[in-house]
Structure 1
Amino acid sequence: MLVSGASNQDIAEVLVVATSTVKHHVSNILSKLDVTNRTQAIARARALGLLSSAPLTEGVLARGRSIRQI
């Protein structure tokens, strides 16, 4: 969901968790990848082969939008 540009609130709503939980996990991801922001995290994860280049195709809804719109 980070790759698609979803906000912490969007992610929390899709996963049915608190926004603070998402913030905590995103912070852990940034730390483990040794980066300071989401853009750097995505670039590092791609460089390490942790992300596929395939687009998201599942239609999970959040606030009336599909995951592709988040």
Structure 2
Amino acid sequence: MPTYSYACKTCGHAFDIVQSFSDATLTVCPECGGDLRKQYGAVGVTFNGSGFYRTDSRGSSGVGAGAGSSTPA
């Protein structure tokens, strides 16, 4: 289950809570009863592998046939 961060608009109280995707969003601050807003932060994404190149999605016929290739005259 994901962890969500909330902050109160009134008192500034901030906290994290583990909620299911189907749970309703919290709207009331547990400290003062004010309005809550959900905090969004960076998402941890990891790309594993040798890397991504601009030629990865192209067919083999297009490799080496671009600008800069020369043919003997």
TM-score, normalisation: structure 2:
0.19
Larger % of helix: which?
Answer: 1
Q: Larger RCO: Structure 1 or Structure 2 (Cα < 8 Å, ≥ 6 residues apart)?
A: 1
TM-score, normalisation: structure 1:
0.20
Larger % of strand: which?
Answer: 2
